[in-house]
């Protein structure tokens, strides 16, 4: 009977030890996974920031000669707005001043203020 009790105690101790060990391992692996996810997120953010930093905004852009590709590199100008600028230029002739850009649909005073540092004075 004593042998049976000893075996039972040994089995219980081993089971208890394994459960504590597996919880510690699980906690460590969970913490490691969280660190890896955070690391991947930081890497992705850094890559996006690097792409933005590498993409330089052109300066001294002449709005009367710029094509769609060049216009879309300017801040706040997407493909649709670039097309609208080109259409306005085709219908009305060359811009006489930079401020005339506000007549183009999609460009207001705030957009113009962001664009002016990159545009060539007419």
Residues in the chain: 122
Residues of the chain above pLDDT 90, percent: 52
Tokens of 81: 């707005």
pLDDT at 13: 67
**CA–CA gap between residue 48 and residue 51 (Å, rounded):** 5
**CA–CA gap between residue 20 and residue 31 (Å, rounded):** 17
Alpha helices, DSSP H only, in 55-117? 68-71, 79-92, 109-115
| pLDDT at residue 93 tops 80 | yes
Domain segments of the chain as ranges: 1-54, 68-118
The domain made up of 68-118 has a fold known as: DNA polymerase; domain 1 (1.10.150)
Higher pLDDT, 23 or 77: 77
**CA–CA gap between residue 46 and residue 106 (Å, rounded):** 31
Residues of the chain above pLDDT 70, percent: 57
């Amino acid at each position: 009977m004593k042998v049976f009790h000893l075996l039972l105690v040994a089995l219980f101790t081993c089971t208890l030890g394994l459960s504590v060990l597996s919880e510690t391992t699980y906690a460590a692996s969970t913490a490691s996974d969280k660190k890896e996810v955070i690391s991947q997120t930081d890497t992705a953010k850094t890559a996006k920031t690097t792409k933005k930093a590498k993409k330089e905004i052109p300066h001294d852009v002449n709005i009367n000669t710029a094509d769609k590709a060049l216009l879309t590199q300017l801040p706040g100008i997407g493909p649709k707005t670039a097309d609208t600028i080109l259409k306005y230029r085709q219908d009305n002739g060359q811009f006489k001043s930079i401020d005339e850009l506000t007549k183009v649909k999609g460009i207001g005073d705030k957009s113009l203020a962001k664009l002016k540092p990159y545009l060539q004075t007419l």
